[in-house]
Copies of this chain bind each other. A is one copy, B any other.
Amino acid sequence: MAALKTVVLKLGGELVHSPELDLLADDLRSLAGGSNRVALVHGGGPQASALQKTLGLETKMIAGRRFTDAATLDVMKYVVGGQLNFDLCARLLSHGVRAVGLHGASGHVIHATKRPPKVMQGAGPDPVDLGLVGDVRSFNLSLLEDLFRLGYVPVLACLGCDEKGQALNINGDTVASQLAGALRADALVLVTSTPGVLRDVKDPSSRIPRICRPEFDRLCADGTISGGMIPKLQESFDVLSHGAKSVVIVGKLAAGELTRAVLEPGSAGTVLVP
């Protein structure tokens, strides 16, 4: 019998109402049903921006970065904490996944602190205050461990909460990466629009099954990996130095692909290892 795995899956908000979620849900059921520990983290930026527009709220940019004021934060609570978390859990439940929707203030599962004003690259010499934006301080791992033990799949909306009860906007990728580190996850799974890292971006069959750090440097040097893919993978390799054992990049999911990618690393998607 294979050892039990701890898996953190990051889903973009755009997947919540997509037909692919049905395949993903069936995969998650087999994965979590086998006593593996599975947690999901989702964002919802695009849907939040759309509602913000409908509400006639302006997007305030400071030094090229989005500023989170109280009204923007409410929209994040509406969309990410409310609608998307509900709809995602509801669809997972209907496929037999024992999803438990949580936001950062559910048992303080995402304990955050407001990001202090920081000097930012390309934004001049003055520190930039992005408003109600948070950095993860800690997770309520004890609550998550209890939910795993009880056979549930925690589904976290990426909204943090500070000591005083202030909600804080946090990037979903960051929450997923840090959670994977904190849980010493066997895999942080990122769902992308390609079936993994490709030698030839136009050829889906040119998937690279496994990349270790030295191999990554070689692939960058010889131009196989180029452009926007470099910082993306760079970021994923950074995750590996914070506790997670691997990062798995999978594409638009075919049936069983997620399970294979996690349980037989390399057989689907691309697995990044130190």
Check if A87 is an interface residue, CB within 8 A of chain B.
yes
Task: Determine how many copies of this chain the complex contains.
Answer: 2
Counting CB contacts under 8 A, is A89 at the interface?
Answer: yes
Asked if A239 lies at the interface with its beta carbon under 8 angstroms from chain B, I say no
A53 to B29 alpha-carbon distance, docked (Å): 40
Minimum C-beta distance from A240 to chain B (A): 31
Per-position binary interface string of chain A over residues 127-157, scored 1 when its CB falls under 8 Å from any chain B CB and 0 otherwise: 0000000000000000100100010100000
For residues 152 through 201 of chain A, which have their beta carbon under 8 Å from a beta carbon of chain B? 152, 159, 161, 163-167
Cβ of A160 to closest chain B Cβ, rounded Å: 10
Answer yes or no: A85 CB below 8 A from chain B CBs. yes
The smallest C-beta distance from A116 to any residue of chain B, in angstroms, reads 20
In the bound assembly, the distance between CA atoms of A54 and B78 in angstroms comes to 14
A253 CB to closest chain B CB (Å) equals: 18
Count of A interface residues, CB-CB < 8 Å = 42
CB contacts (< 8 Å) of A78 on chain B: these are: 51, 77-79, 82-83
Residues from chain B with Cβ under 8 Å of A90 in the complex: 105, 161, 165-167
From A82, which residue of chain B is reached at the shortest CB distance?
A: B82
Q: How far in angstroms is the closest Cβ of chain B from A227?
A: 36
Assess whether A165 is in contact with B93, with CB atoms less than 8 Å apart: yes
B74-A81 in contact (CB<8A): no
CA distance A220 to B35 in the complex (A): 58
Assess the A152–B93 pair: CB atoms within 8 A: no
If A79-B78, A161-B93, A167-B90 touch, whether A85 touches B103 (CB-CB below 8 Å) is yes
Once the chains are docked, how many angstroms separate the CA of A51 from the CA of B54?
A: 12
- A124 nearest CB across to chain B (Å): 34
Q: Which residues of B contact A103 (CB under 8 A)?
A: 82, 85-86, 89, 101
Distance to closest chain B CB from A164 (angstroms): 5
Interface residues of A in 88-113 (CB under 8 A from B): 89-94, 98-108
A61 contacts chain B at the CB level, 8 A cutoff: no
Whether, in the assembled complex, A80 has its beta carbon less than 8 Å from a beta carbon of chain B, the answer is: yes
Cβ-defined partner of A105 (8 Å) among B81, B99, B166: B99
Provide the residues of chain B in CB contact with A152, threshold 8 Å.
107, 143
Cβ 8 A contact of A86, one of B81, B94, B100, B107: B81
A163 closest partner in B (C-beta)? B94
Which one of B51, B99, B108, B143 contacts A107 once the chains associate, using CB atoms below 8 Å? B99
Contact flags A17-57 to B (C-beta < 8 A → 1, else 0) = 00000000000000000000000000000000001001100
Nearest 3 pairs of A and B residues by beta carbon? A82-B82, A78-B78, A94-B165
